[in-house]
Structure 1
Amino acid sequence: MTWMIYGAYGYTGELVANHARSQGLQPVLAGRNEKKLQEIANRLELDYQVVNLDDTVALRQALGEMELVVHCAGPFEVTAAPMIDACIATRTHYLDITGEVAVFEYAHDKAEEAERAGIVVCPGVGFDVIPTDCVAAQLKQQLPDANHLTLGFDSASRMSRGTAKTSVRRLGEGGAVRRDGNIEAVPLAYRTRTIDFGNGEKFAMTIPWGDVSTAYYTTGIPSIEVFIPASPNLVKRLKRMNAWRWLLRFEWVKKWLEKKVDQQPAGPNEKQLEQAVTYVWGEASNAQGKVVTVREKVMNGYKLTSHGAVDIAQYVIAEKPKGGYYTPANLCGAELIERYRVE
């Protein structure tokens, strides 16, 4: 059956397309910009299809011929809903590479519709959130009665423009944690602590990473926080920003920040993709005070995304899981991370 990579000419979408082709696969490339699509399709000798997410009829017609779509066109807070809805209508499996909490929650809200349609809806099939989701699942296995989960990662890799745009668009909303089963909005840099992610102790702060949503559905652990390394000066700046971050919610401010991002390189260069590995860490604790810790060292996040998106697409096509909402670890098991470990 035929499958599609939508947004194949973005930085990460192109990595996914390149990896799929290197594996001898022939996905259809799609997006709204014909010139960019044609360039990559010609280079990879793949078919392409021009379709705009705003054109519901054309989108459903395109998806009607596909068994599965890997959605790579952000910002997903804008693009995920129309694609998920179209996939449910056309009975097309849906995967994406988002890390946005709101998108994971929207996808989870569609669980019953996905089950009735007989399709898999599994957002986050890249660095967001494969390795952290697998670590969460490992911790749950080791401490079944855990009631608090803390995850984090450390990477020296440059962000892609798409990731940076998502980050600046979300600044006005602040942070997010899960407490007693509910997602709560919190200030930027809400909590800080020192963590050894696997390469020495570092000062770290909370971020609204996708696991605030997904790790709950993977493990059932009711309280979840996610950390990354941050300098004390950055934490101070973010804390000061909390007083006026409401300004960052205006669309014109978001657009201005996105234009600034457009001046940056598209993403990590080839050397960074191969050498800038990622350290993933997790800690679970229970009511009696027992604590367990897991550390993993995995490939560069963008390289992992390109591999993970293709791996899970092929898994869904081959195994034909029951329809519904999934996290990567729920779909493929905690052992999925073994594919992406590095020495």
Structure 2
Amino acid sequence: MGGAPLHLKFSAPPLMVSSVRKREVSKPNTDLAIPTDKIKNSTVLILGGTGRVGGSTAVALSKLSPHLQIHVGGRNREKGAETVEKLGKKSKFVEVDINKLDALEAALKDVDLVVHAAGPFQQVGRCTVLEAAIHTKTAYIDVCDDTSYAFRAKSLCEEAMEANVPAITTSGICPGVSNVMAAELVRAAREEGKGEPERLRFSYYTAGTGGAGPTILATSFFLLGEHVVAYCKGEKVKLKPYSGMLNVDFGKGVRKKDVFLLNLPEVRTAHEVLRIPTVSARFGTAPVFWNWGMAFLANHLPQEFLRDRSKVQHLVDFFNPIVRVVDGIAGEHVSMRVDLECSNGCNTLGIFTHRRLSVSVGFAAAAFVLAVLEGSTQPGVWFPEEPDGITVEARQLLLERASQGAINFVMNKPPWMVEMEPNEIGLGIHM
């Protein structure tokens, strides 16, 4: 890390690493590919590497940085062999169970960075992978999309600092890239004198499950069992999941879609880190009857049922074959829109749209991996919008890498240049 090769792990004193790192990232490389002499000896372990998200991350990493050593971690050797065959000679399969700390630490022994993509993260009581990473002095990112897990990881920040280990939680596409988009909108607004940021709205859309498989399906069901936490003028409010519908225009490739409130971690992190008084997040899918089904489950199934991992797994097993068929028809578009409203009436937004979620989520995670390997992250556990997680100077390059193949990616534009203002429907609180 910093000025030393990453294969030396993170044994240098924290102050030395920090000072070198700041000099290195002050002028980030404008090329998307990584200078091979900088991290060509680095090894990345991807836990959940045989799944859709982890496998996509491995493929994206191999494209962005062909000289990386990629270890595909999982429990299925047959799937692991298939993934490794696609990646080529600089990869190998590692059999590992993330629930066994000793096995995890053994797998991390000669690894420079570990990617935790073995979700779902909901209803998980311990950050075992992060604990192992700290103990073995291995850099870490995860693609967590659960508020409780994210803040449980954040609670290990001091331990990571003491071990001189950089770690980023919620570093996938949404949350993750969307957090960085929000941070850049807020930074630009404050620097350009557009007024004080007052409201931030995250809106997400995927066609079906976006081709991302049963893990995304399980995550969706878990979220239906949680009250939605949002912020209105600095006050924390709890709302019903899959309520508060908005009709949002996602621009080219997607256009207008209905989105609904969900309990997502970027709401709390944006409120606390970016100091935005009003924040909310919504999600919608297609075909439209999936939204009807999600609303039905949220309204009619007890929250205790939707918090039970075994019961949710039964739901996944039942719906997954149907989802696979519908996904084949609906496609797997993904779109994110981040809206920022400021005190002087100046509104700006960012939009990210890709035809394939299963591809874009890999480039998103890979972008975070490379940012950490290049030295843009301080020791500790950080959210993506924190400058100690991804330095301000490194954000543009991260967004460029993450948006590879996007059909629409715009930042810091007024709504009238992109589309109409979304119409708010059925919410007593303006969020």
Using the size of structure 2 for normalisation, the TM-score is: 0.69
Equivalent position of 1:152 in the other structure: 203
Counterpart of 1:337 in structure 2 is 399
Is 1:70 aligned to 2:115, yes or no? yes
1:157: how far off? 5.6
Note the alpha carbon deviations across 1:52-100, whole angstroms, 9 max, x for none. Answer: 1222112112213211101111112338711111111111111112222
What residue identity is the alignment partner of 1:57?
D
For each residue in 1:206-251, what CA deviation from the matched residue of structure 2 results, as whole angstroms up to 9, or x when unmatched? Answer: 1223322332354122331012346599469727843543232334
Output the CA distance in 1 between the equivalents of 2:49 and 2:360. Answer: 16
How far does residue 255 in structure 1 lie from its aligned partner after superposition? Answer: 2.5
2:56 aligned with 1:5: no
Within-5 A mapping of 1:189-338: 189-199=242-252, 200-229=255-284, 234=291, 238=295, 241-242=298-299, 244-246=301-303, 247-263=305-321, 264-265=323-324, 272=331, 276=333, 278-286=334-342, 288=343, 290-299=345-354, 300-319=356-375, 321-330=377-386, 331-333=390-392, 334-335=395-396, 336-338=398-400
Aligned length: 338
Residue 323 of structure 1: how far off its partner (Å): 0.5
- Structure-1 separation of matches of 2:300 and 2:127: 31
Structure with max Cα Rg: 2
Which residue is equivalent to 1:139? 185
2:230–2:239 Cα contact (<8 Å) kept = yes
Secondary structure of the corresponding residue to residue 97 of structure 2? coil
Structure 1: how far apart are the matches of 2:241 and 2:341? 24
Bigger drift between 299-308 and 225-234 goes to 225-234
SS of the residue corresponding to residue 171 of structure 2 reads coil
Q: Which residue of 2 aligns with 1:51?
A: 96
Partner Cα separation in structure 2 for residue 268 and residue 63 of structure 1: 36
Residue 240 to residue 328, structure 1, CA distance change in 2 (3 Å): closer
| Distance in structure 2 (CA, Å) of the matches to 1:6 and 1:117 | 21
Which runs of structure 2 are paired with 1:95-110 in the superposition (5 Å)?
95-110=141-156
Q: Percent identity?
A: 21
Q: Structure 2 CA distance, aligned partners of 1:10 and 1:103?
A: 20
In structure 2, give the amino acid aligned to 1:189: Y
Distance 1:252 1:5, change over 3 A: closer
- The equivalences for 1:12-23 within 5 A come to 12-22=53-63, 23=65
Equivalent-residue separation in structure 2 for 1:297 and 1:177 (angstroms): 23
| One-letter identity of the residue aligned with 2:105 | R
Is the CA contact (8 Å cut-off) linking 1:127 and 1:301 kept in structure 2?
A: no
Q: CA deviation at 1:107?
A: 1.9
Q: What per-residue deviation string (whole Å, max 9, x for no partner) do you get for residues 14-40 of structure 1?
A: 111222233413211112223322332
Closer/same/farther in 2, CA of residues 193 and 320 from structure 1, 3 Å limit: closer
Q: Do the aligned partners of residues 21 and 80 (structure 1) sit closer, same or farther apart at CA in structure 2, a change above 3 Å counting?
A: farther
Quick one: distance in 1 between partners of 2:74 and 2:297? 39
Secondary structure of 2:378's aligned partner: coil
RMSD: 3.1
1:85 corresponds to:
131
Q: Would the alpha carbon gap of residues 117 and 147 (structure 1) be closer, same or farther in structure 2, given more than 3 Å must change?
A: farther
Give the whole-Å Cα distance in 1 for the aligned partners of 2:301 and 2:126. Answer: 29
Instruction: From the superposition, tell whether residues 126 and 249 of structure 1 become closer, same or farther in structure 2 (CA, over 3 Å).
Output: closer
Output one character per residue of 1:272-311: Cα deviation in whole Å (capped at 9) or x when no partner: 56xx3x433222334x462412132332433222112222
Which string of whole-angstrom CA distances, capped at 9 and with x for unpartnered residues, describes residues 89-134 of structure 1? 1111111122222222222222222222211221232212233213
Contact 2:224 2:297 in 1 (8 A): no
Where does the alignment leave 5 or more consecutive residues of structure 1 unmatched? none
- Could you tell me which of 36, 40, 56 is aligned with 2:79? 36
Name the CA distance, whole Å, in 2 between partners of 1:267 and 1:56.
Answer: 39
TM-score where L is the length of structure 1: 0.85
- The residue type equivalent to 1:204 in the other structure is V
Give ranges in structure 2 of 5+ residues lacking alignment: 1-6, 8-42, 191-195, 409-431
The structure that is helix-richer by fraction is: 1
Partners of 2:205 and 2:259 within 8 A in 1: no
